[in-house]
Structure 1
Amino acid sequence: MDVGVIGSGMMGQNHVRVYSELREVDSVVIYDVNADQAKKVASIHNADIAHTYEELFHRVDAVSLCVPTPFHYDVAMKVINAGIHMLIEKPICLSSGEGKKLAEQITEDLVIGVGHIERFNPIVAEIAQMISNPLYIEFKRHNPTSSRVTGSSVVEDLMIHDIDIILHSLGCSQVSVQAKGDDDIAAALCTHSQTLIYLSASRKASKKIRMVHIEQEDMTIQGDFMTQEIYVYRKPGQYTVERDRYIQENIVEKVLVSKQEPLRTELSTFLHSVKTGKKFPITPYEAIENLELCEQIKGMF
C-alpha cells in the first residue's frame, strides 16, 4: 500500500518514520507547503515527496493529515473530495462545528479516522477491563514548554487525550463539568453518576507526567502512560502502630502489560481498516464528542 503524510512537523515526522517501518507499506510520500522541510524528512526515512496535493493524491491509497489544527478542515476537505482514505491527527478540527461540517461530507466508501493515540496505549484496555465501579478517577497530563506549534489550547492539545479515554474507554459517556484554566494550564472536575473525575493538563511543567489514578472500594489502580506500567494496591485489613507511627500494609500487584508503541498500533489499525473497509476504532463522531467536551471546559475559563 502506498501512503502519504501531509505535514512534516513533529507528528508528521513520526508518522513517516512508523509508516516506513511497516511491512504493509510499499512507499511513503510526503507533502508539505515547506518543501525544504519535506525534503529533509524524506531523506532521513527514505521517503518520496510530492510537490502538489494533486500529485500526492495520484500516488497514494491513504494519507495521514498532520498539519496544525487551524488547517485541518480545509486540508481534510481536499482529501475527502479526492476520495482518499484519511487518518486525521487529533483534534479533528479547530471546533466541533467544523468537525460536524466535515463529517457530513464523508461518504460511506471512505475510511476516515481520528488519531487519538492514547486509545492505543496498552494500559487503557487493561484498566478498562479491571474497573467495575470507580469512586474517583484522576488524570494528569503535564508537559514542559514546547516549541511545537499546534494552534490549540492545552485542553485540545493535551487534556483531550484523557477526555477520549473517559468518554469512550471507561464508559463515562455523560459527565457534568466544572473547570478553570487558560491556554496553557487547565483543570476540570467532572462527575459521572457517583464517580468523581479530575483532569489536569499543563504546558508549563518542569516534569513530563502522564498518569491515571483510580480508586474503587476493593483496590486502587495507578497507571503510567509513558512507561506503560500498571500497579494495583489492595487493602489486606492489617494495621499496626509502631513507635507512635501509623502503619498500613498494602498488597501491591504489578500488572503484566504487553508494551508496544501506540502510534505503530494506531497506524497499523488504520491501514487494516483501509484494506478491509472496516471503520477505524475512533470515528469522526467520537472525535467531535471529545471536542464538544473540550469546548465546554474552555467555556468555563
Structure 2
Amino acid sequence: MIEPVKIGVVGVGYLGSIHARIYARLPGAALIGVNDVDSDAGKQVSAECGCSFYSNVDQLADSIDAVSVVVPTTCHREVSLPFLSRGIPVLLEKPVAHTLSDARSIVNEAQQTGTILQIGHLERFNAGVTRLHQELDRPRFIEVHRLSEFVERATDVDVVTDLMIHDIDIVLSLVQSELKYVSAVGARIVTNHVDIANARLEFEDGAIANVTASRVSAKRFRRIRVFADACYLALNFEDQQIEISRPGEQPPDGGFAPIINSSIQVEPTPPLDAELAHFIDCVREGAQPLVSGSDGLRALKVAYDVREKIERSLHSLV
C-alpha cells in the first residue's frame, strides 16, 4: 500500500480553508495540520478537517512531507523560504510574491535545494484549458475577458495581480515564443488600485494577445478566444464548453473551403481539486509541476510590466 503524502496548510483564511478541506478528503493525501496567525480560525478549521492545529510553523514542518502556503502575498517569502530550505515541497498561491525581488528569492531557493515549488495558477487546471492546449497549434491571436462583479476581497491589490495574472499565465503557456512588447491601459473605479485593465502582448513569432480584466463589471464573464492556423477556438471558463471552427474540404472549383463549426463539452472538473491532486502526485513521484516557480515568476514579470505601463498612462493624464 502506498503511504499517503503528509500535508500541511499554512494560512487558513478563505482560500486556505478550502485547501485544507480538499486535502482532508483527497485520496493519497493525509492532512496532518494547519497553521494560522489567527489561532481561533486555525483551530476551527483543524476541528472541521480532523487534523491538528500548530501554533508553531517549525513544529508543523517537522511533521509533514509537503505544504500549501496560502498567506497574504506580502508574507510569501517569509513563510515559504524555511520550508524550501528544508527540502519540503511547497504549493504557493499566486502571485509568487509581492515583489520581483522576493519572487526571485523564492524561485532561486527552490532551484538551489532541488525542492518542488508549484505556483497556484488555478486556471491551468481548468479542464477546458487543458483541452485548448491539445487542440491548438501555433496561436496567432488571443483575446481574453475576465470580468467580475465588485466584491470586497483582495482590494489591497490591483486587478492585474488579482485577476489578469491568471490569463497572462495561460497566454504565456499557449504561445511558445518570447514576449517582445507590452502595452496597457487601465483605470481606478472603486478602489485606490486599478480596477479595470487591458493589456496587449506581442510576441517574437508575431502572435498577439489582447487581455482584459475587470472587477467592477455588471456581471461575471470569463472567456478566451484563440485564432490559430486554420482554426478558431472559444472557451467559456465557467461551463468549460469549447466552440471550434475549422475549414472543411477544399471544393473542386478551387474556391474557399466551407467553415465547419462544432463544439466540445469538456467533462467539468473542479480546478482546485485537480491542482492539489497534481501537487500530491508531483511530491510522491518527485516530478516537476505543471506550473513551476519559473512559470510563476515569468507571469509576475509580465504582470508588473503591465502595471507599470498602466501607471505611466494614468500619470500622463494628470
Partner of 1:147: 152
CA–CA separation in structure 2 for the residues paired with 1:90 and 1:25:
22
Q: How many residues align?
A: 290
- What's the Cα RMSD here? 2.1
Query: Would you say 1:100 and 2:104 are equivalent positions?
Result: yes
Runs (4+) off by over 4 Å:
234-237
Q: SS at the partner of 2:219?
A: coil
**Letter aligned with residue 61 of structure 2:** F
Partner of 2:314: none
Q: Post-superposition shift, 1:39?
A: 2.0
TM-aligned CA distance change 1:133 to 1:285, over 3 Å: closer
Partner of 2:264: 255
Partner of 1:189: 200
Q: Post-superposition shift, 1:172?
A: 4.3
Range with bigger deviation, 126-135 or 140-149 = 126-135
Unpaired segments ≥5 residues, structure 1: 238-248
CA–CA separation in structure 1 for the residues paired with 2:166 and 2:269:
18
Q: Post-superposition shift, 1:75?
A: 0.9
Unpaired segments ≥5 residues, structure 2: 188-193, 250-257, 311-318
Question: In the alignment, which of 270, 292, 295 is matched to residue 283 of structure 1?
Answer: 292
Alignment of 1:129-208 (within 5 A): 129-149=134-154, 151-182=156-187, 183-192=194-203, 193-208=205-220
CA–CA separation in structure 1 for the residues paired with 2:247 and 2:290:
36
Query: Would you say 1:56 and 2:60 are equivalent positions?
Result: yes
CA–CA separation in structure 1 for the residues paired with 2:229 and 2:283:
43
Q: Contact 2:23 / 2:30 at 8 angstroms: preserved in 1?
A: no
Deviations 1:185-224 (A, max 9, x none): 1100122233331100111122122210123463431101
CA–CA separation in structure 1 for the residues paired with 2:71 and 2:121:
15
CA–CA separation in structure 2 for the residues paired with 1:146 and 1:280:
31
CA–CA separation in structure 1 for the residues paired with 2:169 and 2:282:
20
Q: Post-superposition shift, 1:72?
A: 0.7
Question: In the alignment, which of 197, 204, 218 is matched to residue 230 of structure 2?
Answer: 218
Q: Contact 1:166 / 1:173 at 8 angstroms: preserved in 2?
A: no
TM-aligned CA distance change 1:143 to 1:190, over 3 Å: same
CA–CA separation in structure 2 for the residues paired with 1:272 and 1:150:
34
CA–CA separation in structure 1 for the residues paired with 2:32 and 2:96:
23
Query: Would you say 1:21 and 2:25 are equivalent positions?
Result: yes
CA–CA separation in structure 1 for the residues paired with 2:59 and 2:290:
29
Question: In the alignment, which of 276, 293, 306 is matched to residue 297 of structure 1?
Answer: 306
Deviations 1:25-53 (A, max 9, x none): 22341100011111222233333211111
TM-aligned CA distance change 1:146 to 1:47, over 3 Å: farther
Q: Contact 2:74 / 2:97 at 8 angstroms: preserved in 1?
A: yes
**Letter aligned with residue 171 of structure 1:** Q
Q: SS at the partner of 2:309?
A: coil
Structure-1-length-normalised TM-score: 0.89
Q: Post-superposition shift, 1:151?
A: 4.4
Range with bigger deviation, 253-262 or 178-187 = 253-262
Q: Percent identity?
A: 28
TM-aligned CA distance change 1:74 to 1:14, over 3 Å: same
Q: Post-superposition shift, 1:87?
A: 0.6
Structure-2-length-normalised TM-score: 0.84
CA–CA separation in structure 2 for the residues paired with 1:205 and 1:263:
24
CA–CA separation in structure 1 for the residues paired with 2:163 and 2:147:
8
TM-aligned CA distance change 1:276 to 1:76, over 3 Å: same
Q: Contact 2:32 / 2:63 at 8 angstroms: preserved in 1?
A: no
Q: Post-superposition shift, 1:178?
A: 0.9
Q: Post-superposition shift, 1:24?
A: 0.9
